[in-house]
Structure 1
């Protein structure tokens, strides 16, 4: 009765269903003196859980809960160390499919954390719950639990975090079952499982870290701009802008969140990790607006960035000194105009023509040949800047156009678009944004030129996979000679 009451008062969370059902079955077994095998209790708890929450095995919590308790049903013959290694190997493919990274210290930390959690933390939680009317007791229990959580978080910041990436689901399932086979009773099965696990994991790493296809992807990060160019085999990674939240005035203290993750981490870094990417060769920041560089600090902190490319004159701006410079670490900064081309940058820099103040009219514009298509992207560059580029490169033709300024009427010059003849347009703008982007004038220009328009507001994140990108990507660097 207490278990059921606890489940109700806790808000009936899905992750508690298995433990509540298992607990009730174990109590029933003890009360009736009937022998019920652990595997039967586990199976019944799974059936009841699926009946109550059919999608529970689609969640990471549900997967870990049932996979790890399944291991415990036959782990009695294993030593403490073997049990922990088994549970780490079983949880590895499940966690990787959701978080894409694995800390090499994780298994060792579990050896210490699991006993402490069972013998110290759980009793303290119960003491704190039933002793909530004794302020001193509640304070002591909260303090111990807080320091335990702090130590676990501190261990996660230590070196050793390895970016694995999202491996194919079939290989993840194979790794899961082979992990169970490593601790079978038969020596031959254990030997074959261990070798097969290493081979399967190696294949998964090759599949993730050396992809045959390249891509040009536009992130769905709200009212902002961020895109990535990934060459085949992850030869070079170029991130163009980082998005960022624009705030108006100082927020009151009660509105500030203590633990807050920006979409630079939850969207951009998370996606790059899923592709097995831990370093960025080129971080191109088109200009100094917050919705283009606001998450730069997150990217520079969470990723290994080799080169930061900014428009000439931006280093003197306060936005660079406060938002970028303190987080550079080992990254090199290169200020550019159209006369400066950066090594290993898959697109050609076609704007700005001179040094400026990193405003919209000073935006970095990139153009080049990727996977058989000519691509043009220019941040918030205005119509005048687009016209300057078209005059400077009169034979320029664009297949994929990333609309300037989130589809604002200040960009997308009708004369220039009519000259370039783009087939596809991409708009990066927030849903129900206060600026009404994309503007009606921009959409009319696209319609008049018979363009197919994709919008992050409707389509979410968009990716153009470039099959033959590796063979012809170097042509982008020499494009200026052709034109």
Structure 2
């Protein structure tokens, strides 16, 4: 009866309670995006409802620990993920690709994607944008992973910077994005004010190590997001960041215990 009353008056509260309850991934109706607290680097896990697919974007190495053994593989085991349909490597820098081989040694990985023209083996839209472009350096050549589910668009640009951002703005009239992973860990080499205004995301996620020597995320990027009143979360402050969606509802959960509803279906 209580759940029925909540569902009638505040359905997002019921969904939020379901979100934080442990459940087998094969019974889970939510679409999940987990940005792991990997230190100074990137590692994101994307899981389709009922575990129809699981895709990892990047698997950072670490000079002081084995990220695969201490973070990535234990997390996959804890969430019940038994295999990865794809592991997308945005580029070969150690803080994006350093743990790829160790992850392959620890779990079945159907496809490792390094070529932007290679299709991602999932049934929802997951694309690498601008696959035929040429870039002056490895960061700008990062795979640009765009995917959408439940009416929300997600953009993961690796370490691509302002040159790639300008090319995106020149190529596309618009890019529907709810959630942006800030390029290059929030460095000022990416996330230009004009690009952020053009993209106009509802939420920006930043993956950076605590007290990292690069000063990521940069004050310039934080200032731009503040001026736009754009919500932001950084792994250096919040730990792992978890997004989950269901029929237009979008929730955020952090390792600190914060849970919030970011979006509801139109008219609700």
TM-score between the two structures when normalised by the length of structure 2:
0.79
Query: Displacement of 1:265 after TM fit?
Result: 2.2
Question: Which of 42, 47, 53 matches 1:230?
Answer: 47
Question: Which of 57, 64, 72 matches 1:268?
Answer: 72
Q: What is the match of residue 92 of structure 2?
A: 288
Question: Which of 234, 246, 255 matches 1:467?
Answer: 246
> Greater strand percent: which structure?
2
Q: What is the match of residue 442 of structure 1?
A: 221
Asked whether the 8 Å contact 1:351–1:366 carries over to 2, the reply is: no
Q: Distance in 1 between matches of 2:205 and 2:234?
A: 6
Q: What is the match of residue 344 of structure 1?
A: 122
Please give the root-mean-square deviation of Cα atoms over the aligned residues, in Å.
2.1
Q: Distance in 1 between matches of 2:123 and 2:43?
A: 16
Query: Displacement of 1:366 after TM fit?
Result: 1.3
1:33-432 equivalence runs, <5 A: 168=22, 207-246=24-63, 262-310=66-114, 335-337=115-117, 341-344=119-122, 346=124, 347-354=126-133, 359-432=138-211
Describe the shift of the 1:358–1:233 C-alpha distance in structure 2 as closer, same or farther (beyond 3 A): farther
Q: Distance in 2 between matches of 1:369 and 1:457?
A: 26
Q: Deviation digits for residues 275-320 of structure 1, max 9, x if unmatched?
A: 211110010000010000011111110010000111xxxxxxxxxx
Asked whether the 8 Å contact 2:32–2:47 carries over to 1, the reply is: yes
Asked whether the 8 Å contact 1:246–1:291 carries over to 2, the reply is: no
Asked whether the 8 Å contact 1:288–1:358 carries over to 2, the reply is: no
Asked whether the 8 Å contact 2:25–2:81 carries over to 1, the reply is: no
Q: Distance in 1 between matches of 2:191 and 2:43?
A: 18
Asked whether the 8 Å contact 1:287–1:360 carries over to 2, the reply is: yes
Describe the shift of the 1:345–1:354 C-alpha distance in structure 2 as closer, same or farther (beyond 3 A): farther
| Matched residues, number | 227
Query: Displacement of 1:461 after TM fit?
Result: 0.2
Asked whether the 8 Å contact 1:407–1:427 carries over to 2, the reply is: yes
Q: Distance in 2 between matches of 1:245 and 1:210?
A: 34
Asked whether the 8 Å contact 2:182–2:191 carries over to 1, the reply is: yes
Q: Deviation digits for residues 36-62 of structure 1, max 9, x if unmatched?
A: xxxxxxxxxxxxxxxxxxxxxxxxxxx
User: Structure 2 unaligned runs (5+)?
Assistant: 1-20, 249-268
Query: Displacement of 1:352 after TM fit?
Result: 4.0
Higher normalized contact order (CA 8 Å, seq sep 6+, divided by chain length)? 2
User: Structure 1 unaligned runs (5+)?
Assistant: 1-166, 169-203, 248-260, 311-334, 470-483
Q: Deviation digits for residues 406-440 of structure 1, max 9, x if unmatched?
A: 00000102111111111111000000000000001
**DSSP-derived class of the 2:110 partner:** strand
> Greater helix percent: which structure?
1
TM-score between the two structures when normalised by the length of structure 1:
0.45
1:13-24 equivalence runs, <5 A: none
Asked whether the 8 Å contact 2:86–2:121 carries over to 1, the reply is: no
**DSSP-derived class of the 1:361 partner:** coil
Q: Deviation digits for residues 149-180 of structure 1, max 9, x if unmatched?
A: xxxxxxxxxxxxxxxxxx95xxxxxxxxxxxx
Q: Distance in 2 between matches of 1:463 and 1:218?
A: 6
Max Rg structure? 1
Asked whether the 8 Å contact 1:364–1:378 carries over to 2, the reply is: yes
Question: Which of 423, 439, 454 matches 2:233?
Answer: 454
Describe the shift of the 1:341–1:357 C-alpha distance in structure 2 as closer, same or farther (beyond 3 A): farther
